[in-house]
Structure 1
Amino acid sequence: MKRILPLLLFPLVFIACQKPKAFDYRDVKNVKLETLGFDQTALTMDLVYYNPNGFGVDLRKVDCDIYIDNHYLGKFKLDTLMHIQRRSEFVLPSRIMVDMKGVYKNAFTLLFSKEVLINVKGTTRVGKAGIFANIPFSYEARHKLDLF
């Protein structure tokens, strides 16, 4: 019996120690202009994601760069502890600092574009039971741009 017990526990330990999968982006809601400036502008929004993992995880940190039509738009950072249930959608309240120099350079193109390519590249720090790992993620998709 003593030899069988470790063999029975091994699959449970293996499953519990799986590396978390990256979150799936679902939607963006409640986009608001917080502050407007010549150098930087702050946008707030709620980003909706899905946790595809079969277990709950703790989100500790997000650090990513955002690009529109392959031009740098700004940086997003989040440094907080948030528990995310298994296989569920969750909302990530976000504040993005937009580099207005990049917006000014591409304003004419953005004004007449019906679609833009949005790229987000970065890392999240997620974990379970106090053990955290950096998980890289990348998102790229075309989105309609309705300015008028």
Structure 2
Amino acid sequence: MKKATKVFVIVFIVILFTGFGFYFYQLYEVAKGISLKEASVANVRFEGFNPLIGDFYPDSVEFTFRIKVYNPSGYGVDLDKITYTVYVEEIFLGKGFVENLYIAPKTETSLDFKLKTESSDILSLIGDLLVRGDNVVDYRVNGYVILPIKFFGVVRVFSVEIPYNYEGFYVLPVKPPWGRPETKLVSGWWESTTIHLCSTVKATVVVKGSISGKMEIQVKKDIPLWPDKVVYSKSFYVNIPVGDQKIFTIYFHPSEASSWKLRGYYIVVKLNNQEIWSQESDYPPRLKVLQ
């Protein structure tokens, strides 16, 4: 009888630890792959705000943030919570958490959360940006994905915290009162304005503040009697305060020489998808390519 009891206890312990080990293996597979693929601003809503009559300072603003959780493993997982702390232009906006989440296997799950503020710091910041002709705000979101470790999926043993940190910018759905940034804030030139085909030439662009957002440097073909064509593009994220400047360089390798159907090439600068500067139409300063 004692022998049978001993065998039963041993079998029970083996089954117990096998089950425990299998469950921990599942959690290991999930934990090593689960991640936040994105934490971004999905929408911004203002109250008490009317730029058409010169009122650029809202009474309140509500940010909607979207986080995307990716679970590449073959196992579904229950999350305790996802915490978040948000800063706008390095000013604290708010914090909170989303709890009791299930992330299905091999899926990307989107979750939205809202933060509304009447903080004078945030409202003054937005108003000041718009008054000086800027409608781009920087943000930073950080926090933890908290994964519970449970014995046989029932009894909580401890938790694993997976940190995340995302930074980005958002173009406010408001047109600044002074339109786009002044073109005198941007200048650019080719290192040489005449080169031979198959050569590489450097272009330099200097941008002065205050400018922030997504800046794109393009090279376009100057085509007679036909829309010009973008043949090179490189994007940068910029946040240049008043009084500062930043220098950008690109290297361009033309694939076609100048001719009757192609005058040459020129530099264009765009900010938040709006063209803010392009080279004068003369040669030079535009680039001519010889055979």
Alignment TM class, shorter chain as reference:
0.5 to 0.7
TM-score calculated relative to the size of structure 1: 0.66
2:166 to 136, 139, 145: 139
In terms of fraction of residues, the more strand-rich structure is 1
1:68 aligns with 2:78: no
1:123 aligns with 2:144: yes
Amino acid at match of 1:59: L
Contact 1:121 1:137 survives alignment (8 Å): yes
TM-score calculated relative to the size of structure 2: 0.38
Contact 2:67 2:110 survives alignment (8 Å): yes
User: What's the counterpart of residue 72 of structure 2?
Assistant: 53
1:108 to 127, 130, 137: 127
Partners of 2:80 and 2:61 in 1: CA distance? 22
Contact 1:72 1:102 survives alignment (8 Å): no
User: What's the counterpart of residue 108 of structure 2?
Assistant: 89
Query: In the superposition, relative to structure 1, how do residues 73 and 83 fare at CA in structure 2: closer, same or farther (>3 Å)?
Result: same
Partners of 1:126 and 1:93 in 2: CA distance? 19
Query: In the superposition, relative to structure 1, how do residues 85 and 31 fare at CA in structure 2: closer, same or farther (>3 Å)?
Result: farther
Deviation of 1:12 (Å): 6.0
Percentage of pairs with the same residue: 19
- Structure 2, unpaired ranges of 5+: 1-17, 49-58, 176-291
Partners of 1:140 and 1:25 in 2: CA distance? 10
Amino acid at match of 1:126: L
User: What's the counterpart of residue 25 of structure 1?
Assistant: 38
Query: In the superposition, relative to structure 1, how do residues 78 and 13 fare at CA in structure 2: closer, same or farther (>3 Å)?
Result: closer
Query: In the superposition, relative to structure 1, how do residues 135 and 56 fare at CA in structure 2: closer, same or farther (>3 Å)?
Result: same
Please, what is the CA RMSD of the aligned residues? 3.6
Deviation of 1:120 (Å): 0.5
Contact 2:44 2:173 survives alignment (8 Å): no
Aligned length in residues: 138
Partners of 1:74 and 1:57 in 2: CA distance? 27
- Which deviations, in whole Å up to 9, do the C-alpha atoms of 1:60-81 show, x marking residues without a partner? 2222211112222222x23531
